[in-house]
Chain A
Amino acid sequence: MPRFDTLHPAWMVWEVPAPAPRGVVLEQTQELNKFLAEIERRAFRMAQVALRDPDDALDVVQDAMLKLARNYASRPSAEWRPLFYRILENGIRDLQRRRTVRNKFMVWLPRPKDDPDNEAVDPLDSVADGGPDAPELMMRDQAMQKLEGSLRALPARQREAFMLRNFEGLDVAETAQAMGCSEGSVKTHYSRAVHSLRAQLGEVW
């Protein structure tokens, strides 16, 4: 009578792909590193705008980088950008869903901001002091906060379309690929987003 763990050990083993030529792998790795270095900060800020929490944003970006590298590194580098943002947006959506569920069913758990171990962030800490541009920096900071608030108020798809097109500079086709929708939908979402933002920020700006 064979033992249970000797019946089919195959499912317990990580699958290892066929090795690629060494030179190809090195070149691919360098290119991937360059690509991720180029987008990582913008991706983080976009995630932070959507999620508010910097730790959550960092987790989502890290996860997206890992998934892209593991699953799509061998794809042509031109495809990486929309693929990466698609993974990122899915991650953001998943996290928001989890938050919703957590808030519904586990309201007694302390949220990160309610955690007494986390010190409250003083907004004055983020303001540069002593420099000649301090007032201008403060104004920019306030304008950015206003913009972030308006972006968060948008429906998710409109926010995605606006950030991918305007902040990340993706064209309509790439944005459609990243969002998993048609180019016509991208145009509609983007147009509505601009309209809403103009209604909210137009007077201030």
Chain B
Amino acid sequence: MQENTQDAVDSALESRSRALFQDSVDGLDFALRSRLTQARHVAVGAAGTPVRARWLGMPWWQPAAGVAAAALLGVALWFGPHSGTLTANHAVTADGQTNLEDLDMVASSDTGSGDALEMLQDDLDFYDFADKAANAGPAA
């Protein structure tokens, strides 16, 4: 019984709201109706002429080429102009160690093998000897 009453209330709400909505539709002003008519004519005129997205007809390699170009540009920007500056400013070497670390290692003294600066001097003497030997040509 209560359910029937509720249904009747729902039905009244539905019919009342429908009637109000239809009234508001009928009450649309002339200017708006005119614009809707114009829009309809444009739509009907365009019937059956689907517009395909431009990228759908694009060859498959073009997006890939674009991505590759962007990646290349990114790499160039990252390593190109900055690499020299970074190396100079932060003294970064190819193996990731800084020159400061190298200098520290070279300058530090090792009790077992003598002064590291003396080792460096020995190396320079060796390179000087090797250079002269190479310029002298093969031994007779």
| Interface residues, chain A, with chain B CB atoms under 8 Å away | 8, 10-17, 20, 25, 28-29, 32-33, 36-37, 40-42, 44-45, 54, 58, 61-62, 65-66, 68-71, 73-74, 140, 143-144, 147, 166-167, 194, 197-198, 201-202, 205
Contact = CB atoms under 8 A, between A and B. Distances in A.
Given A15-B57, A29-B47, A69-B47, A61 B36 contact: yes
Contacts of B132: none
Given A41-B28, A62-B39, A62-B43, 13 more contacts: A8-B58, A10-B57, A11-B54, A13-B57, A15-B50, A17-B50, A36-B40, A58-B32, A65-B43, A69-B44, A144-B20, A194-B13, A198-B10
A66 B46 contact: yes
Interface of B: 9-10, 12-14, 16-18, 20-25, 28, 32-33, 35-37, 39-40, 42-44, 46-52, 54-59, 62
Contacts of B24: 45, 144
Contacts of A37: 37, 40
Contacts of B14: 166, 194
B54 to A, nearest CB: 6
Given A42-B25, A44-B28, A143-B20, A16 B49 contact: yes
A198 B43 CA distance: 38
Contact of B48 (A20, A44, A202): A20
A37 B50 CA distance: 21
B9 A147 contact: no
B57 A205 contact: no
B47 A28 contact: yes
Contacts, number: 127
A144 B26 CA distance: 13
Given A32-B47, A71-B50, A197-B13, A44 B23 contact: no
15 contacts: A11-B57, A15-B50, A16-B49, A17-B49, A20-B48, A33-B40, A40-B40, A44-B28, A45-B21, A45-B28, A61-B39, A65-B40, A140-B20, A167-B22, A205-B12
Q: Interface majority SS on B: helix, strand, loop or mixed?
A: helix
B69 to A, nearest CB: 13
Contacts of A40: 36-37, 39-40
B12 to A, nearest CB: 7
Contacts of A32: 43-44, 47
A36 B28 contact: no
A56 to B, nearest CB: 13
A11 B28 contact: no
Contacts of B58: 8, 11
B136 to A, nearest CB: 53
Closest 8 CB pairs of A and B: A65-B43, A11-B57, A62-B39, A73-B47, A11-B58, A69-B43, A69-B47, A15-B52
